C-alpha cells in the first residue's frame, strides 16, 4: 500500500520548521574559530545564577516525573501577574501553547489572520489543523496593520495572532492602535498576543496585553522564558488565557508537558528582577552600537524593541553567505529582501560590526 495514503492531506503543503545553521557547521564552512550564532533570537548569556543553582539541585531527583500541574511556578506567576488560577497555562515553550490553542479552537475551513512577515509558526499551526492562513502585510514601516487585519476578518475567522514586538521586524504597535482594535474586533475571533520579547521593550506606548485581559474578552497573552531568561534549551513558556481555553488546553496537553528542570529554573529566574533590568539595559545599549555601525555603513535597518534587528538588503543570499564566511550567522527569509541579526554581548557587537564592514567592502553595498 502507498505509505502516503496514511498521512492527513492538510499536511501536504506544510514545510517543517527550519532551524538556523549550527555554529559547528559554520566553523567548518568558514574556517573561522569564533562563530556568532545570531539567528535564533537567543540571549547571548547563560541562565540566571539562581536558575543554574536550582538546575543542579534538581538533577539527582530526575528519576521522578515533574509536577504535572506546575503548582509552585504557577503560584509565583499568578502572584506576580495578578491572574486567577483558571487563566494560567504552562507550555513546553510558548511554541507548544501556540499549537495547543490552534488545536483547541481550529476546525477545517476556519480562517486565521496574522501579519506577514511574522513568526513562522503561525502558518504552521494553522495548516496543521486544516485551517486557512490569511496573511496581512505589515505597513510600509514594518508595523502590524491592525486596521487591515480587522478588514480581513470574515465569519470564518476563528483566531488572530498578533506578535508584539513582531518577529522578525522588532516593531511594535502602540496602545492607542490596540485599544481601537479591541473595540472593533468581533467576539467570534480569539485574539492571541504573542509577547515573546515583552521583557526587552522600552517604548512607553507599548501595550501590555495583560492589562486588557479581564477573563471575559477572547484575548490571550503568551510569554516565554526562552529569551531574556535564557532558558531556550529547557523549553518553557506560559499563557494567560480565558478559562474555557485553559480547560481545553488541560485536556489536550501531555500530562507532563513541562519538565521539572524547566519549572524550577523558571521559578528561580522570576525572583531576580534586577538581572532582567540589567539585561534589558545591556540589550538596549548594544542595539545602539549596532545602529551606529549600520548608519556608518549605510545599512537600512528597522529600529527594534526586541533583541534582534531586521535590516534590508537587495542581495539577501549573497549578504547571508558573506556574513557566514565572516563567522556570523544571521536569519534569512529565502529571497525576501531582508535579514535579521540578533543582539549579543559587547564583544559580539564589535565582531558583528566588523563582519558587516568586511562584507560591505567585499560586495560594495549591503
Ligand atoms: C514571536 C515568537 N513567539 C514564540 C516563540 C517561541 O518561543 P519558545 O517556544 O521558545 O517559548 C518565538 C521564538 O523564537 C518567537 O520569536
CATH of the domain at 303: 3.90.1150.10
Q: Are strands 36-37 and 331-332 parallel, antiparallel or unpaired?
A: unpaired
Q: Tell whether ligand 1 has an atom less than 6 A from the beta carbon of residue 167.
A: yes
Q: Tell me: do 312 and 234 sit in the same domain.
A: no
Last residue of a domain, one of 203, 234, 269: 269
274 neighbors 280 (Cβ within 8 angstroms): no
Contact criterion met (CB below 8 Å) for 210 and 193: no
Task: Give the structural domain span for 72.
Answer: 49-269
- The answer to whether the CB of 169 is under 6 A from ligand 1 is no
In this predicted structure, what is the pLDDT of residue 5?
Answer: 81
| Pair (17, 77) in one structural domain | no
How far apart (Å, rounded) are the C-alpha atoms in residues 181 and 126? 22
Residues 260 and 219 in one domain: yes
For residues 126, 127, 128, 129, the Cα torsion angle rounded to the nearest 10 degrees is 70
Which pLDDT score is estimated for 313? 97
Q: Are residues 63 and 157 in the same domain?
A: yes
The reply to whether 161 and 20 lie within a common domain is no
pTM for the full model?
0.97
| Domain shared by 103 and 167, yes or no | yes
Residues of the chain with pLDDT under 50: none
Same domain, 19 and 56: no
Supply the pLDDT for residue 138: 98
Number of folded domains in the chain? Answer: 2
Same domain, 197 and 250: yes
Ligand 1 binding pocket includes 221 (Cβ within 6 Å): no
Are 173 and 207 in a shared domain? yes
Pocket lining: 119 vs ligand 1, CB cutoff 6 Å: yes
Q: Which of 201, 226, 266 has the most ligand 1 atoms within 8 A of CB, as the residue to mutate?
A: 226
Indicate whether residue 20 lines ligand 1 (CB < 6 A): no
Distance CA 99, CA 115 (A): 17
Task: Say yes or no: 100 and 15 in one domain.
Answer: no
Q: Is the CB of 157 under 6 A from ligand 1?
A: no
Site to substitute for ligand 1 among 98, 121, 123, 304, most atoms within 8 A of C-beta:
121
CATH of the domain at 166: 3.40.640.10
Which one of 269, 293, 322 terminates a domain? 269
The pLDDT value recorded for residue 286 is: 98
Does 172 share its domain with 70?
Answer: yes
Residue finishing a domain among 269, 286, 316: 269
Atom of ligand 1 nearest to the CA of 98: 4
Assigned C-alpha cell, 250: 488541560
Does one domain contain both 250 and 140? yes
The DSSP letter of residue 118 is -
Amino acid at each position: 500500500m502507498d505509505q502516503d495514503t496514511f498521512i492527513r492531506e492538510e499536511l501536504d503543503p506544510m514545510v517543517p520548521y527550519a532551524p538556523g545553521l549550527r555554529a559547528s557547521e559554520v566553523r567548518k564552512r568558514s574556517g573561522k574559530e569564533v562563530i556568532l550564532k545570531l539567528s535564533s533570537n537567543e540571549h547571548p548569556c547563560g541562565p540566571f545564577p539562581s536558575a543554574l543553582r536550582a538546575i543542579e539541585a534538581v538533577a539527582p531527583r530526575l528519576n521522578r516525573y515533574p509536577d504535572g500541574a506546575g503548582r509552585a511556578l504557577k503560584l509565583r506567576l499568578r502572584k506576580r501577574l495578578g491572574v486567577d488560577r483558571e487563566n494560567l497555562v504552562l507550555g513546553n515553550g510558548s511554541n507548544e501553547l501556540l499549537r495547543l490553542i490552534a488545536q483547541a479552537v481550529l476546525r477545517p475551513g476556519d480562517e486565521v489572520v496574522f501579519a506577514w512577515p511574522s513568526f513562522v509558526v503561525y502558518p504552521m499551526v494553522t495548516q496543521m489543523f486544516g485551517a486557512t492562513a490569511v496573511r496581512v502585510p505589515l505597513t510600509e514601516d514594518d508595523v502590524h496593520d491592525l486596521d487591515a487585519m480587522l478588514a480581513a476578518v470574515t465569519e470564518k475567522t476563528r483566531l488572530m495572532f498578533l506578535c508584539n514586538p513582531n518577529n522578525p521586524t522588532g516593531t511594535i504597535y502602540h496602545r492607542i492602535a490596540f485599544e481601537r482594535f479591541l473595540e472593533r474586533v468581533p467576539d467570534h475571533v480569539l485574539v492571541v498576543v504573542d509577547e515573546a520579547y515583552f521583557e526587552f521593550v522600552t517604548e512607553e506606548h507599548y501595550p501590555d496585553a495583560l492589562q486588557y485581559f479581564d477573563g471575559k474578552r477572547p484575548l490571550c497573552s503568551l510569554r516565554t522564558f526562552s529569551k531574556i531568561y535564557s532558558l531556550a534549551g529547557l523549553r518553557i513558556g506560559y499563557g494567560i488565557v480565558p478559562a474555557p481555553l485553559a480547560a481545553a488546553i488541560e485536556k489536550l496537553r501531555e500530562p507532563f508537558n513541562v519538565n521539572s528542570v524547566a519549572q524550577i529554573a523558571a521559578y528561580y529566574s522570576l525572583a531576580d528582577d534586577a538581572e532582567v533590568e540589567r539585561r534589558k539595559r545591556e540589550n538596549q545599549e548594544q542595539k545602539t552600537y549596532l545602529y551606529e555601525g549600520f548608519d556608518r555603513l549605510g545599512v537600512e535597518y528597522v529600529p527594534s524593541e526586541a533583541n534582534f534587528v531586521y535590516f534590508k538588503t537587495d542581495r539577501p543570499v549573497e549578504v547571508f553567505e558573506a556574513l557566514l564566511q565572516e563567522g556570523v550567522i544571521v536569519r534569512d527569509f529565502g529571497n525576501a529582501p531582508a535579514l535579521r541579526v540578533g543582539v549579543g554581548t559587547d564583544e559580539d557587537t564589535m565582531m558583528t560590526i566588523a563582519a558587516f564592514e568586511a562584507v560591505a567592502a567585499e560586495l560594495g553595498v549591503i
